[in-house]
Structure 1
Amino acid sequence: MKAQFTFSLFFILFLTSCQISGVNTLSETEQLNLFLDQRYDMAVDRWPEWQSYLGIKKDYDKLNDISEANSLHEINIAKEEIDLLKKFNYSKLDEQGKISYDLFIKKKQQQIDDYQWRYYNYPINQLFSWHSDLPAFLINIHQIQTKKDAEDYIARINAIPSQAKEILLGLKNREQLGIIPPRFVFPYVTKSIQELLSGQPFKGDKPSTLLKDFSTKIEKLNLPPTEKDDLQMKVTEALKMAYQPSLQSLLSYWKTLEKKASQKDGIWQFKDGDKYYQTRLNRYTTTEMSAESIHELGLSEVARIHQEMQTIQKQLGIQGTLKGFFKHILSNPKLQYANTDKGREQFLEETQKLIANIKSKLPLQFGTLPKAELLVKAVEPFREKSSASAFYSAAAPDGSRPGIYYVNLSNMKEQPKFKMPALTFHETIPGHHLQLSISRELKNIPKFRKYGGFTAYTEGWGLYAEYIPKEMGFYQDLYEDFGRLSMELLRALRLVVDTGIHYKKWSREKAIQYTLENSAQDRAEVVRQVERYIVNPGQAVAYKIGMMKILELRKKAQELKGAKFKITEFHDEVLKYGALPLDVLEKRILAWATQ
């Protein structure tokens, strides 16, 4: 805490020194931004993995401190930061400054309040898990451009036992509280760990996931063969002496824990689970909506989207019920990519062409365009079995790493042709890649806003971004427009299913059956989705809540501005502040619309 205190004293003295002889050298907002950026940099300095995501190589040989003691230390820092922030004169801040002030207080207070729920999650699960996230981090984030980078990669492997110890301790603490993942999670994780420990230097002929990654990266270095051999020897030793024992210890405990796992799925089963779930809904939606109101909204939206789908069914001349139309969609081979390497190549090629096409038309809808590059990539084999169907990883701020659109191509039945356009728009342009890149490229706002986020805003924008291309001339094919509606339907179903599981005590199978009966999706895809909602309560409802708010604000702005309304200006206004809570976004848009 000494370093924290020293900085606090320094900053108070600095603020005082900014006014000498009655002359303001910095405005109140400029001083605030400086303070917030310094606090952000101090936070980054405490988290080595975060540094790497940002393209910083300061502590490139270290991993995060995930201990309980450090978690409490972060809470104390948050309390101190709130006290320091209150030294600023709020009335002297400009519009952006007041937003920054309010958001920083909000985030820090939520961090403090949520500390009581720190064990109400599953750090090991089939979707986002320490054991799979760490190799993904080394493979996709830890770049090797020099010998030192390679040595740092090895050092990080050697640091894994320390994190593994904390993970095991956390799992045991949760076990004492009765917070154990549902039984279905265990086989996924067991298989994943076993796959990570297959291949050289563990067992088998082919190189293991991490050894292959390391070898591929150092092969590109301009080093003498003897130095490369030495690095190979050291990484092999690290994998055998640090990585393998850590995962084996986790696997051993995991198999013991499995015997205590329940068939129940919802968070309601834990003590105060209902309170925790409502907190999750509040955090993800940035609203005070109750689980019941979200559930009812979902039922209403499902019915509305079904009606729009029936309109397309009639336009296609297909008789029968909507459920029969769903079966037709799923069984039509013309709407599927071949489940072969050629089919996967076709998917990636058509995706890249679609991105290039819509990128050329962005000025029709946007005044501000992103600078960051974009890469399309298939999910790596070691995590494709449990990975989401698609996701996006933001570009490094310094441009050293492009934004990456990951697509899970393990089973092409889960990536039908009719859904490909909407999925691509959501994750790339005009969705996550555009929004997150613009946010990171904004000027005159503090870093915590550039790189932070609110799920209802970011995912609400992603879902809204699936709709925008329809106004740009895309989705001319009726099946593709049905695919767009299918994606929106999926998000409406989440309102029903997520609250069904965690509030109304639905079983996993009931949630699966409800989704299958009301959508055109393959069972394997539905199972993956429902299991995601189970291990990440509340997150999935934010998409539809956010999209509906953006559409509502767009309609209000059109009514207020009338003939002066321009869609490019509306989109720029939504994006110019970075991610915002929905109530703050509403205030900003209405203020702009009434200027």
Structure 2
Amino acid sequence: MAQDADAQFRQIYQTEWAWRSGQAGISNAGEAQPNNGRLDNVDAKSQQQRQDYWQGVLKQLDRIKPAQLSAEDQINYAVYRAQIQNLLAAQQFKQWEMPFNSDSAFWSDIGYMLGADNLRTQADYQRYLQRLGEIPAYMDQQIDNMRAGLARGFTVPREVLDGRDVSIAAVAEQRDPTKSSFYEPFQKMPANIPAEDAKRLQAQASKVIAGQVVPAYGKLLTFFRTEYVPKARKTLAAESMPDGKAWYHQQIVEYTTLDLDPDAIHQIGLEQVAKIHAQMLETMQQTGFKGSFPEFLTFLRTDPQFYAKTPDELLMRSAWVAKQVDGQLGRYFGRLPRQRFAIVPVAPEIAPYYTSGRGGASAYLVNTYDLPSRPLYNVAALTLHESAPGHSLQLALAGEQQGQPAFRREGYISAYGEGWGLYSEYLGNEMGIYKTPYDRFGYLTYQMWRACRLVVDTGIHHLGWTRQQAIDYLTDNTALSAREIANEVDRYISWPGQALSYELGYLKILELRQKAEKALGERFDIRHFHDTILQIGSVPLPVLEKRVDKFIADGGPEPDFGCDCAAGKKAP
């Protein structure tokens, strides 16, 4: 019976994944994916076709009884069904009519979607040129979608749009096509491409960028400045938009994987803020500072000793923390990925409103713009979260697993991934990464920042907070700089629910660790626990909890990754 059910389920997800992989920009967490290097149609008709397709997939899943599946496919089913439900909900709420936020935008993701970093052969470059030629039609469809959003009041709030046209203008106003970001793959072409062919491809690139890409971005820039910004909604709350209460609830479910109401989340946030504030006061006293808490925050934000003098200094401090972590990983993990990450500055055209750092399997991005807003006491916590043992390690391990379906290897569930990132900051205490009271205060301000998100996100989108209320709350409770706070608040305003995933995911992982430690006693091995969390991959929090319960019931064994991973060095 299990074999028949497994086969039926496998047929459903393999067929759907093959279809999904041929679509452009479809994702599980609101971020663009490099799907086949394509820019597919995103017009209303195509969006309806996607909705109909996923509705059909959900009906097929309804005909399967999860209890009849094998143990592994029961996990796969729970993960996959949640993916399809979230993808379908995005279509039903017509989220494609608001295809950007203050943090991420379709026009900035196009190069990534076209696979600009993975061009190796003449055929790759020729295909890339063809895709560049699709940009004008793609832009026209996105503009039509945003007009439809404007017409029904489903837009990014006007209050967070100032300056968001800079990244469009960086392309639209570039008169030399060879200086365009789209030309970068042609600057240094592979040696296996003959020089004559390389010159021909470079000439074609200049022509298509100047004749098609730049005008398309120019059209988008005009629309953004003259139509979208003036007509964007004046409200902030997600719940104030059409069907807003239902949409905000769906955002909560997608990003937290939990069915919590906004008031309950707000209360959790208030409780965590009070708890962390007490720890911050204690750490402040350890620095020897004699003033009040607000005075201490002012001191941290203004004293030059806490800020890098050059971008290289900030990058090197980040690298130094990362190497210290490298020396500790073998004590906390049995399995380590083969892939390594680079430390890269954030691109200048997006840096002014980009977050302080962001990590992926191959790169840890560090924002070196406006150095007086990038305090060094936060670098340790930021690096732990974004690189290793945080996102870079977790995503690299996920990508190297061979025993899981592609929809799990390549999927990303925010509550799991961001919860793990925040838990990685917590591990910095045990690893000895926070060397001074100031480093520890930086860690606590990051903990406070994520707790405040529960209060601020629900405050804005459910309780009617203003932007200034949210800014004041973060200013009073964290040591984040004014620029960081403003950028973060704008992100929460324009990306409802995503900010909730960090703290709720972290609290669940920490709760599961404490549960395992208590149940297993001396049999508890921190490496086996961490490997178990990472081996299952990105899953909803209830699925993760069931896996840890099994880990406890089995006596805390070392998990089998079933992957081509490097075995980590064991602790002596």
Check whether TM > 0.5: yes
> For residue 136 of structure 2, what is the aligned residue in structure 1?
161
| Counterpart pick for 1:123 among 99, 102, 108 | 99
Q: Give yes or no for the alignment of 1:368 onto 2:321.
A: no
> For residue 65 of structure 1, what is the aligned residue in structure 2?
41
- What's the secondary structure of 2:364's corresponding residue? strand
Q: 1:36–1:447: 8 Å Cα contact kept in structure 2?
A: no
> For residue 313 of structure 2, what is the aligned residue in structure 1?
346
Amino acid at match of 2:440: D
Q: 1:197–1:208: 8 Å Cα contact kept in structure 2?
A: no
- C-alpha separation in 2, matches of 1:573 and 1:119: 35
Offset from partner CA, 1:71-90 (integer Å, 9 cap, x none): 22223332333444566664
> For residue 10 of structure 1, what is the aligned residue in structure 2?
none
Q: Give yes or no for the alignment of 1:269 onto 2:269.
A: no
Offset from partner CA, 1:381-425 (integer Å, 9 cap, x none): 12212222111233xxxxxxxx11111111112321111111011
Q: Give yes or no for the alignment of 1:523 onto 2:485.
A: no
CA shift, 1:63, in A, is: 1.8
CA shift, 1:250, in A, is: 1.5
| Counterpart pick for 2:220 among 246, 250, 256 | 250
- 1:398-417 equivalences under 5 Å are 403-417=362-376
| Counterpart pick for 1:144 among 108, 119, 137 | 119
More displaced, 38-47 or 323-332? Answer: 38-47
> For residue 45 of structure 1, what is the aligned residue in structure 2?
22
- C-alpha separation in 2, matches of 1:68 and 1:232: 35
Compared with structure 1, are the counterparts of its residues 508 and 73 closer, same or farther at alpha carbon in structure 2 (3 Å cutoff)?
Answer: same
- C-alpha separation in 1, matches of 2:406 and 2:398: 10
- C-alpha separation in 2, matches of 1:199 and 1:47: 26
| Counterpart pick for 1:260 among 219, 227, 231 | 231
- What's the secondary structure of 1:452's corresponding residue? coil
- What's the secondary structure of 1:165's corresponding residue? helix
| Counterpart pick for 1:378 among 334, 345, 352 | 345
- C-alpha separation in 2, matches of 1:393 and 1:65: 28
CA shift, 1:516, in A, is: 1.0
- C-alpha separation in 2, matches of 1:197 and 1:260: 22
Q: 2:408–2:538: 8 Å Cα contact kept in structure 1?
A: yes
Q: 1:125–1:189: 8 Å Cα contact kept in structure 2?
A: no
- What's the secondary structure of 1:376's corresponding residue? strand
- C-alpha separation in 2, matches of 1:408 and 1:352: 13
- C-alpha separation in 2, matches of 1:217 and 1:137: 20
CA shift, 1:116, in A, is: 2.2
More displaced, 164-173 or 328-337? Answer: 328-337
- C-alpha separation in 2, matches of 1:537 and 1:120: 15
- What's the secondary structure of 1:264's corresponding residue? coil
Compared with structure 1, are the counterparts of its residues 463 and 523 closer, same or farther at alpha carbon in structure 2 (3 Å cutoff)?
Answer: same
Compared with structure 1, are the counterparts of its residues 303 and 54 closer, same or farther at alpha carbon in structure 2 (3 Å cutoff)?
Answer: closer
Amino acid at match of 1:281: I
- What's the secondary structure of 2:188's corresponding residue? helix
Residue identity over aligned pairs, in percent, reads: 28
- C-alpha separation in 1, matches of 2:81 and 2:233: 39
Q: 2:33–2:113: 8 Å Cα contact kept in structure 1?
A: no
Compared with structure 1, are the counterparts of its residues 333 and 448 closer, same or farther at alpha carbon in structure 2 (3 Å cutoff)?
Answer: same
- C-alpha separation in 1, matches of 2:485 and 2:437: 23
> For residue 570 of structure 2, what is the aligned residue in structure 1?
none
Offset from partner CA, 1:140-198 (integer Å, 9 cap, x none): 74433222222222212111012112101101111110223222343323332222223
More displaced, 558-567 or 426-435? Answer: 558-567
> For residue 207 of structure 1, what is the aligned residue in structure 2?
179
Compared with structure 1, are the counterparts of its residues 85 and 501 closer, same or farther at alpha carbon in structure 2 (3 Å cutoff)?
Answer: closer
Amino acid at match of 1:161: P
Amino acid at match of 1:547: Y
- C-alpha separation in 1, matches of 2:351 and 2:330: 35
Compared with structure 1, are the counterparts of its residues 99 and 585 closer, same or farther at alpha carbon in structure 2 (3 Å cutoff)?
Answer: same
- C-alpha separation in 2, matches of 1:570 and 1:188: 45
- C-alpha separation in 1, matches of 2:60 and 2:240: 40
CA shift, 1:221, in A, is: 3.9
> For residue 429 of structure 1, what is the aligned residue in structure 2?
388
Q: Which stretches in structure 1 are left out of the alignment for 5+ residues?
A: 1-18, 395-402
> For residue 239 of structure 1, what is the aligned residue in structure 2?
209
More displaced, 463-472 or 192-201? Answer: 192-201
Q: 2:168–2:217: 8 Å Cα contact kept in structure 1?
A: yes
Q: Give yes or no for the alignment of 1:182 onto 2:157.
A: yes
More displaced, 519-528 or 193-202? Answer: 193-202
- C-alpha separation in 2, matches of 1:210 and 1:336: 34
Q: Give yes or no for the alignment of 1:313 onto 2:284.
A: yes
Offset from partner CA, 1:186-241 (integer Å, 9 cap, x none): 33233322222233336xxx823333x144133x5454554333223211221122
- C-alpha separation in 1, matches of 2:267 and 2:55: 38
- C-alpha separation in 2, matches of 1:78 and 1:330: 49
- C-alpha separation in 1, matches of 2:86 and 2:8: 24
Q: 1:533–1:540: 8 Å Cα contact kept in structure 2?
A: yes
Q: 2:418–2:502: 8 Å Cα contact kept in structure 1?
A: yes
> For residue 510 of structure 2, what is the aligned residue in structure 1?
551
- What's the secondary structure of 1:434's corresponding residue? helix
TM-score under structure 2 normalisation? 0.89
Q: 1:266–1:502: 8 Å Cα contact kept in structure 2?
A: yes
> For residue 563 of structure 2, what is the aligned residue in structure 1?
none
Amino acid at match of 2:426: Y
Amino acid at match of 1:133: D
TM-score under structure 1 normalisation? 0.86
CA shift, 1:577, in A, is: 1.1
- What's the secondary structure of 1:405's corresponding residue? strand
- C-alpha separation in 1, matches of 2:468 and 2:173: 32
Compared with structure 1, are the counterparts of its residues 438 and 209 closer, same or farther at alpha carbon in structure 2 (3 Å cutoff)?
Answer: closer
> For residue 434 of structure 2, what is the aligned residue in structure 1?
475
- C-alpha separation in 2, matches of 1:89 and 1:500: 40
Q: 1:66–1:166: 8 Å Cα contact kept in structure 2?
A: yes
- What's the secondary structure of 2:465's corresponding residue? coil
Compared with structure 1, are the counterparts of its residues 83 and 279 closer, same or farther at alpha carbon in structure 2 (3 Å cutoff)?
Answer: closer
Amino acid at match of 1:127: D
Compared with structure 1, are the counterparts of its residues 529 and 393 closer, same or farther at alpha carbon in structure 2 (3 Å cutoff)?
Answer: same
- C-alpha separation in 2, matches of 1:112 and 1:181: 21
- What's the secondary structure of 2:350's corresponding residue? helix
- What's the secondary structure of 2:98's corresponding residue? coil
CA shift, 1:31, in A, is: 7.1
| Counterpart pick for 2:166 among 178, 183, 191 | 191
> For residue 98 of structure 1, what is the aligned residue in structure 2?
74
- What's the secondary structure of 1:385's corresponding residue? helix
Offset from partner CA, 1:422-468 (integer Å, 9 cap, x none): 10110111101111122222242211111112211110010000011
| Counterpart pick for 1:486 among 438, 441, 445 | 445
- C-alpha separation in 2, matches of 1:334 and 1:39: 55
CA shift, 1:278, in A, is: 1.7
- C-alpha separation in 2, matches of 1:185 and 1:217: 38
Amino acid at match of 1:293: A
Report how many residues are paired: 549
> For residue 536 of structure 2, what is the aligned residue in structure 1?
577
Amino acid at match of 1:579: S
